[in-house]
Amino acid sequence: MTVPVFFYGMDDMVQQELNPAQQAAVMYNEGPSLVIAGAGSGKTRVLTCKIAYLLHLGLAPQSILALTFTNKAAREMRTRIADMVGKEQARYLQMGTFHSIFARILRVESDAIGLKHEYSIYDTSDSKSLVKKLIKELALDDTLYKPAAVLGRISRAKNMLIDDRRYPETDLIKEDYLLKMPRIKEIFALYAERMREAGAIDFDDMLLLTYQLFSGHAEILRKYQDLFQFILVYEYQDTNHAQSQIIRLLAEKHHRVCVVGDDAQSIYSFRGAQIENILNFRKIYPESRLFKLEQNYRSTQNIVGAAGSLIAKNRRQIPKQVFSTREKGDPIRVTAASSDFEEGCLVARQITRLHRDEGYDYRDFAVLYRTNSQSRMVEDALRKSGIPYVIYGGVSFYQRKIVKDVVAYLRLIMNHSDEEAFKRIVNFPARGIGATTIDKLTDAAHRQGVPMYDIACRPAAYGMSVNAGTQRKLEAFTTLIQEFTDQLPDYDVYDLVRDVVVKSTMQEFLQAEGTSDSESELQDIDELLNMVHQFQEMRHEEDGGSATLAEFLMDAALLTDADTDDASAESRVTLMTIHAAKGLEYKVIQVVGVEEDLLPSMHSIDREEDLEEERRLFYVAITRAEQRCFLSYAKSRFRNGQSCYPSVSRFVDDIDAQFLVGRGDSETSRVDFSRQDTSFFRSPSSAFRMQPHGLTAQPKPASQPAATGGRRLVRLAPRTQTPAPAPASIGNLSVGTRVEHERFGKGVVTALDGTSPDARITVQFENSGQRILLLKFAKIKIIP
DNA sequence: TCTAGCTCTGTTTTT
DNA sequence: CAGAGCTAGA
């Protein structure tokens, strides 16, 4: 039963339907709270309602800090809140991504940490290029030291709040030895030094420096603690150590923090996300309250059931029973294609059929895959079938070469020390400044600790010998930049960008070329100008002020493709990676490449944790579906230029067979639908055994949980793969037996499965949640 | 200094 | 099968 909640004192049209659990989560604000929100359970609704509720209680919008991971999520929530409380209030909410909020704070407080006011933001390719150069400078073996790997190590350290100075004292260098990269500490030190000299920070610095700012400056920390009276975090399962520690600092004083997330959807550990943050939240805030949202409003029972049976195979998770009261729906269909090409056609055919026969609109479909490269085959097939589509993600607009070039001009104009920007455009368009000159400049710059730009201005003054021609060329370039810099204070950003494109002779150069490539680059420039314009309008609307170049550059650095367009407006099929699909929902989901070595990826099969993350990824994919879900795999596939012959993903077998069709002989008739197997509804917890009879497969909509109290719902997802008859006891273990485990502590056996040697027991531990243990390995003893 | 063409290499996900 | 990096030749 849902209760309509009115927000008194606001527009009386505003009414949100909240179920009791959601309502409780919204209304509890006295202390820290953790909201575990299953897939499709109304995470966004709870968070937006909570913010509206806080405003209703009288909290000022500017004292609410709401952090998200994507700009899109932030924007969507702001819009929704604006609908509830009006634009005027919503405008002042401190809502944005971790990175954008912190980047702004860093700009305000730059002096305190010796950061340049007008700092540049290095994107991954800038960082990579710098690291590559450092590897060369240090004369390291580049077959052992790969820039991406080195950068990954540095990034990991920063996410653990370890800077270059502390790095050598940590265990990370031991790992470096094992990775045969013992000198990473030197690269890290040099990297940090060069970044400082360039007045630049990278994505990880935004978190690390913010942490250092707060932890090292009590008065500044206090200022922000007082400013942010209430802190909300969306998708908390994706936070890394740095992020969770910054939140801890900010909330230290008032403890008014609410985090919302779903541990089952933690899929960003490669980026440093630690699932521990959500699992340990209650240790940091012992007085915190836990709310679980378990009713899925998005998907059919079959989809929720399938996803539940899949995720149950993970060991590390917060136990919860996600259920749906929607219709049962169709089972998930698994299809084998003979090749990746065939798989694409299959997807296209499926879409055509559902579009034609069942009235689905193209925008109701999404095709999901593990890796970006898989999009090609699907794309080709859709194009051939005349199905409109849009690829979400892929190369971001701001990553395109020409756009990066223009942005590099802007960066250099703002910050003359920005070395990557300098190198990128000093000879683009070609002005006769070649590698030799650039090498000389770099050399001189690092020997003397002076920006390349300064040396280019007056080479002789820094002891660099150049011939007259080169000197003239350098001068022309630096004068061009300098003139823009001088006018910067009263330059409208749009005019600036337009003038840069012209005066740099970029436009002329591209027009002269007259190829189709240069043509599309000119279009990209137009598009960029468009975006500047849009940005200015948005700024004007938001705070009435005009946008500065620094603000635009910050936005450009942090904006991703997913943020740029609202593709939902058009009637097109969406193609994207599973990662990009998180938080979205579609009526029909097709997951392609459900194969070993792809999903799970080949890198993840050695470690249990990695495998579990891949399983969560698959879980995310399936739970995007509202009505229909299709899985497919190819029996042969082109990978890295050669054919390989993958087998179906192990995860398909993790899904209980009753939710699937197409496995085995792809005969639906193998399923005996008349069979009624009550063992399926065996309770995971002893509390539930109080009502052993009368369980029906579908909880009636009316019989929902009363409140957030401990009452458990009927578990829809089976706990085990095969619904084999459960033995009443194994050895001297039976349901209800109290046991103690070496690691997990004390608990109660809630279920038994299988026979020796594969006998498993399910134990509800007091402190470690529910776990399934293989009896032959489990180190348990029975306690009286 | 530039560019065309060659070889090599690598391969997940992204704020 | 790309994309990056390198070499040779203009």
Give one DSSP letter per residue of A573-614, joined into a string: EEEEEHHHHTT--EEEEEE---BTBBTTBGGGSSSHHHHHHH
- Whole-angstrom distance, CA of residue A493 vs CA of residue A498: 9
Longest dimension (CA), chain A: 95
Average pLDDT of the residues in A173-185: 88
Q: What is the pLDDT of residue A688?
A: 32
C1' nearest to CA of A617: which nucleotide?
B13
Q: Is the C-beta atom of A437 closer than 7 angstroms to strand B? A: yes
**Does residue A763 contact residue A747 with C-beta atoms inside 8 Å?**
yes
- Asked if pLDDT for residue A4 goes beyond 50, the answer is no
Q: Which of A84-88, A372-376, A698-702 has the lowest mean pLDDT?
A: A698-702
Rounded average pLDDT over A702-706: 32
What's the CA gap between A630 and A591, in Å, rounded? 6
**Type of residue at A715:** R
Q: What's the CA A365/C1' B10 distance, rounded, in angstroms?
A: 33
- pLDDT band at residue A694 using 50, 70 and 90 as cut-offs: very low
**Model pLDDT, residue A167:** 95
Q: CB neighbours of A49 closer than 8 A, spacing ≥ 6?
A: A5, A16, A18, A22, A26, A84
Provide the token pair at A451.
């920006």
**Residue-by-residue DSSP string for A704-741:** ---SSSSPPPPP-S-SSSS-PPPPSEETTEETT-EEEE
| Amino acid A469: pLDDT | 83
* Higher per-residue pLDDT: A249 or A770: A249
Which residue is nearest to the C1' sugar atom of C1, using CA? A641
Q: Are A644 and A595 in contact (CB under 8 A)?
A: no
CB-based contacts of A541: which residues, under 8 Å, 6+ apart?
none
pLDDT, one tens digit per residue, over A550-604 is: 999 998 888 876 666 555 567 899 999 999 898 899 999 999 999 999 999 988 8
pLDDT at A563: 64
Confidence (pLDDT) at A784: 66
| Nearest nucleic acid nucleotide to A128, CA to C1' distance | C4
Concatenated DSSP letters of A305-357: HHHHHHHTT-SSS-----EE-S---PPEEEEEESSHHHHHHHHHHHHHHHHHH
pLDDT given for residue A710 in this prediction:
27
A375 CA to B11 C1' distance (Å) = 15
Q: Is the pLDDT of residue A3 over 80?
A: no
- Residue A348 above 90 pLDDT? yes
Least-confidence region, from A75-89, A201-215, A332-346, A555-569 = A555-569
Which residue is it, tokens 């699992």? A279
Query: Which nucleotide is nearest to A576 if distance is taken from CA to C1'?
Result: B13
| pLDDT value at residue A720 | 28
Q: Closest nucleotide (CA of A376 to C1')? A: C1
Q: Kindly list the distances between the CA atom of residue A699 and the CA atoms of A328, A751, A780, in Å, as whole numbers in the listed order.
A: 11, 22, 35
| pLDDT tens-place string over residues A350-397 | 999 999 999 999 999 999 999 988 998 999 999 999 999 988 876 678
Distance A765 CA to B11 C1' (A): 41
Choice between A643 and A158, residue whose per-residue pLDDT is larger: A158
pLDDT in tens, A636-648: 998 877 888 999 9
Examine the pLDDT at A11 and tell me if it is beyond 50.
no
Residues 6 or more apart whose Cβ sits within 8 Å of residue A422: A412, A451, A452, A453, A456
Higher pLDDT among residues A591 and A273, named by residue: A591
Measured CA to C1', the nucleotide nearest A641 is C1
CA distance A532 to A526: 10
Does residue A632 surpass a pLDDT of 90?
yes
Closest protein CA to C1' of nucleotide B12, residue: A371
For A641 and C2, how far is CA from C1' in angstroms? Answer: 9
Distance, CA of A137 to C1' of B12, in Å = 30
Nearest nt to the A432 alpha carbon by C1': B1
* pLDDT category of residue A756 using cuts at 50, 70 and 90: low
Predicted confidence at residue A65, as pLDDT, reads 97
pLDDT > 50? residue A106 = yes
Measured CA angle at A484 (ends A481, A487), to 5 deg: 150
pLDDT at A734 (0 to 100): 78
Distance A761 CA to B5 C1' (A): 64
For residue A470, which nucleotide's C1' is closest to its Cα? Answer: B1
Shortest CA to C1' contact from A604: nucleotide: B12
Residue A132 CA and nucleotide B8 C1' are separated, in Å, by: 18
CB proximity A143–strand C (7 Å threshold): no
Cis peptide preceding A692, ω within 30 of 0: no
| Residue A194: pLDDT over 50 | yes
Interatomic CA distance for residues A459 and A462, integer angstroms? 5
pLDDT at position A692: 30
Nucleotides of B under 7 A from a protein CB: 1-3, 9-15
Residue A663 CA, nucleotide B10 C1', distance (Å) = 34
Q: Is the CB of A6 under 7 A from strand B?
A: no
Name A301's bridge partners: none
Q: What is the per-residue pLDDT for A703?
A: 33
Residues 633-652 of chain A sitting with CB below 7 angstroms of strand C: 638, 640-641
pLDDT, residue A9, reads 40
Tell me: the pLDDT tens digits for A394-416?
A: 667 888 888 889 999 999 999 99
Q: Does residue A398 approach strand B to less than 7 Å at its CB? A: no
- Provide, in whole angstroms, the distance separating residue A454's CA from nucleotide B2's C1': 27
Taking CB atoms within 8 Å and a gap of at least 24, the contacts of A217-226 are A217/A109, A217/A112, A220/A109, A220/A112, A221/A249, A221/A250, A222/A253, A224/A105, A224/A250, A225/A249, A225/A250, A225/A251, A225/A252, A225/A253, A225/A254, A226/A253
Distance A373 CA to B11 C1' (A): 10
Average pLDDT rounded to a whole number, residues A131-135: 89
Q: How far is the CA of A271 from the C1' of B14 (A)?
A: 7
Instruction: Please report the pLDDT score of residue A773 as a whole number.
Output: 63
Residue A372, CB, strand B, below 7 Å: yes
- Is the distance between the Cβ of A615 and the closest atom of strand B smaller than 7 Å? no
Protein A69 CA to nucleic acid B12 C1', in Å? 19
| pLDDT confidence tier of residue A32, bands split at 50, 70 and 90 | very high
Residues A527-542: what's their mean pLDDT?
85
Q: Smallest CA–C1' separation from A613: which nucleotide?
A: B13
Q: Which nucleotide is nearest to A100 (CA to C1')?
A: B15
At residue A259, φ and ψ (nearest 5 deg) are -115, 140
How far is Cα A724 from Cα A749, in angstroms, rounded to an integer?
18
Counted residue by residue, chain A has a size of: 784
pLDDT band per the 50, 70, 90 thresholds, residue A511: confident
Q: Per-residue pLDDT for A675 more than 80?
A: no
Q: What is the pLDDT of residues A652-665, one digit of tens each?
A: 999 999 999 987 54
Q: Is the pLDDT score of A712 beyond 60?
A: no
Nucleotides of C under 7 A from a protein CB: 1-2, 5
Average pLDDT taken over every residue of chain A: 83
A70 touches strand B (CB under 7 A): yes
- Say yes or no to pLDDT of A220 above 50: yes
Spanning CA of A512 to C1' of B3, the rounded length in angstroms is 18
List, in order, residues 6 or more apart from A474 with CB less than 8 Å away: A433, A437, A456, A457, A459, A466
For position A362, what pLDDT does the model report?
Answer: 95
